Amino acid sequence: MNILKFIETFTDDSLMRSTGSRRDSFNQFGNIGKTLAMASIPFGLSAFANKALAKDITATPATPIGALQFALTLEYLENEFYAMALDSGVIPASENGGRDLKVFQQIAAHESDHVKFLIAGLGGTMSANFVTKPTFDFTVGGAFDPFGDYPTFLALAQAFEDTGVRAYKGQAANLISAPDLLTAALQIHSVEARHASEVRRLRGLKGWISNDERGAGMPSATQAVYNGEGLTMQAGFNTATAFGAAAGSEAYDEPLTTQQVVDIANLFIV
């Protein structure tokens, strides 16, 4: 049984029914096992997960509109992250002969385009389906210094891009009834994957994810982004047989559920 799926059924229900805080949703677990729930909180920052802030985003409905709203919130996050990084000067202009700056300027341009595209797709800022940008804190209350420390910026960029790939993938089924929206989401999904590959390679890693490894130099707090990526059984086919588990797992990226992504994103939302 998929534990995360099990947890999601609880958190989704409580969050969708009310404006309830995360603390409320934890109470739903009662004696089922609070430690189990806490173990699922990404980035290992369980202390922060108890903040139960009213501004936290909640899981969007499993509908095409919900998927677009969910995507927009993620793009808000990425867009602001890269815009702030470029403004802060944390990306050294001389790094790799200027390569890094070119890379992140391109990524920033794409994320900005994605925000505009998704807002338009939701009917514009006056539409009832429009969702506003949350307030982000990329330091997570001071735990990270992404705009003062370049390696931290790179690590978070990798985590956000790899999360983005998994997040869009997890929304595909919600868009199956809306072919045009599905195609657009796929067209963003592959751009996120191109970004992820390049950021990983800038960090000296492979462009693809081996097993469920977050990779050298990634804080242990980012492991939740990679949990589940080590899968080597695909529709009954063992992808590890031919060349081993690392290659088999690299050949497939795995989805994250809406709730798993919400939990990651909420760490950066105040």
The rounded Cα 147 to chain-centroid distance in angstroms is: 19
> How far apart are CB 63 and other proteins at their closest, in Å?
14
Name the site residues for other proteins (rule: CB under 8 A): 96-99, 102-103, 105-107, 109-114, 116-117, 165, 168-169, 172-173, 176, 179-180, 182-184, 186-198, 201, 206-208, 234-237, 239, 242-243, 247-248, 250-255
Nearer to other proteins, 103 or 267 (CB): 103
Query: Considering beta carbons, is residue 139 or 227 the nearer one to other proteins?
Result: 227
Question: Which residue's CB is nearer to other proteins, number 39 or number 240?
Answer: 240
Smallest separation (angstroms) from other proteins to the CB of 121: 10
Minimum CB–partner distance for residue 242 and other proteins (Å): 6
Question: In the bound complex, what is the minimum distance in angstroms from residue 33's beta carbon to other proteins?
Answer: 29
Residue 44 or 215 having the CB closest to other proteins: 215
Closest approach of Cβ 73 to other proteins, in Å? 16
Structure tokens belonging to residue 15: 């969050």
Minimum CB distance to other proteins smaller for 107 or for 159:
107
